[in-house]
Structure 1
Amino acid sequence: MDGDNPRTPLLSIVQESYLPKTVSIALKCILVGLNIASIAIGVIFMNECPGQYLIPYYLIISGVACLLFLCMTCLPCVDEEQVTSVTLANLCAQGVLLLFLFAFFIAGNVWIYSLYHGPWNDPSSPEYCARVLYLYAFWIITLCHLCFLVLLCTYLCLLLGLYILKRSIFGSRSS
């Protein structure tokens, strides 16, 4: 096992990075920028969305929670000479934070899309929401949906490819 703990083989598999380090750093930098922008826009437009007053809070809380999650994923990042590993407590904390983010994402969908069909950009309307705030929140949450769709399609294509590979390997043996 090359010095790995035989009692936690799954933990060592979870810790392996599937992306090159430069791609991982670039993606994390983009996510940090988007989350800082979410917090800033939520704070700047705090009282400018009477149609759905929870949208600025959604941007702030989800931005802070995502930044916390990104920090937690960077905890094992140290020099190449040092051997570190993600503790089980860290993985559990990440899991709890992801569950919170998922539930909060669903709530954000309800809050943001509830204004979609109304006259949210008319200042005289009771459903008014500042244009920058609403459009930023709308496109951030829509971007999340698109990312989930791409991930789902990728996994389904991988499963289909594995199924075809299995059928070609084991189907030829039975003949």
Structure 2
Amino acid sequence: MAENVERKRVTVKSRFERVKEKLKKLKAGLTTSLVIFVIIHIIMLIIGAINFKKCPASPNVPVYLIAEGVIGLVSKILSLGRNFILRYFKVDRIISIIGLVEVVFFICGSVWIYSAFEPKYDPVYGDQYCNRTAYLFALIFISCIYVILFSCLLIVLCLLTGFCVMVSVCGDADVESTQPERTPLPAVRNAD
């Protein structure tokens, strides 16, 4: 009896350790992706600052690059800091507000960038000119975000559809097979 209890404790501990290791790997993967996004936002900031006055076709494109670069850097650094340094400070509200501002700038940037499609990349065109690097970087960044968002949405919809189909196909059979067979109760006579 004592051996069984000890085996259960060892099994629970080993399962707990396996879950803990998987969480560490997941955290490392998330940290790596945050570092990659920090690098991308630094590049955005640099490209926007270098080409600040070089896009008369849509002057907001460099502004978008700078703003999205700064906001993205702050949010990613706070996210990284929350995991390592700021564990005891409440930064979740700040990260939420910054995330909301980032979404607003993303929508504004989409309008600014797609409305100027496709500018001239030669400065001789004057008001129709936009620096090729700044415009294409912003266009590719926003387009990649849209592809990621729509891919995630498609995956969720496929999973929900599969779940609904599974429930409709398997759900009826399970309900019918799990209902107990009813036997009629004997009639009770009153002895009046």
Aligned 1:132-151 pairs, distance under 5 A: 132-151=133-152
Could you tell me which runs of 5 or more consecutive residues in structure 2 were left unpaired when the two chains were aligned: 1-22, 177-192
Question: Which residue of structure 1 lines up, in the alignment, with residue 163 of structure 2?
Answer: 162
Question: Which residue of structure 2 lines up, in the alignment, with residue 77 of structure 1?
Answer: 83
Question: Which residue of structure 1 lines up, in the alignment, with residue 132 of structure 2?
Answer: 131
Q: Which amino acid counterpart does residue 115 of structure 1 have in structure 2?
A: A
Aligned 1:54-133 pairs, distance under 5 A: 54-78=60-84, 84=87, 87=90, 90-117=91-118, 119-125=119-125, 126-133=127-134
Q: What are the Cα deviations for residues 47-91 of structure 1, in whole angstroms up to 9, with x where unaligned?
A: 111111111110011111111111222233239xxxx5774xx32
Q: How many residues align?
A: 152
Could you tell me which runs of 5 or more consecutive residues in structure 1 were left unpaired when the two chains were aligned: 1-16
More helix by percentage: 2
Q: Which amino acid counterpart does residue 167 of structure 2 have in structure 1?
A: K
Question: Which residue of structure 2 lines up, in the alignment, with residue 8 of structure 1?
Answer: none
**Structure 1 length as normaliser, TM-score?**
0.76
The CA deviation at 1:148 is: 0.8
* Greater Rg by CA: 2
Aligned-pair identity (%): 28
**Structure 2 length as normaliser, TM-score?**
0.70
Question: Which residue of structure 2 lines up, in the alignment, with residue 174 of structure 1?
Answer: 175
Query: Aligned in 2, Cα 1:33/1:78: closer, same or farther, shift over 3 Å?
Result: closer
The CA deviation at 1:45 is: 0.9
**Equivalent-residue separation in structure 2 for 1:92 and 1:19 (angstroms):** 26
**Equivalent-residue separation in structure 1 for 2:124 and 2:24 (angstroms):** 51
Q: What are the Cα deviations for residues 94-148 of structure 1, in whole angstroms up to 9, with x where unaligned?
A: 222222111111110111112214x422322211001111111111111111111
The CA deviation at 1:169 is: 4.5
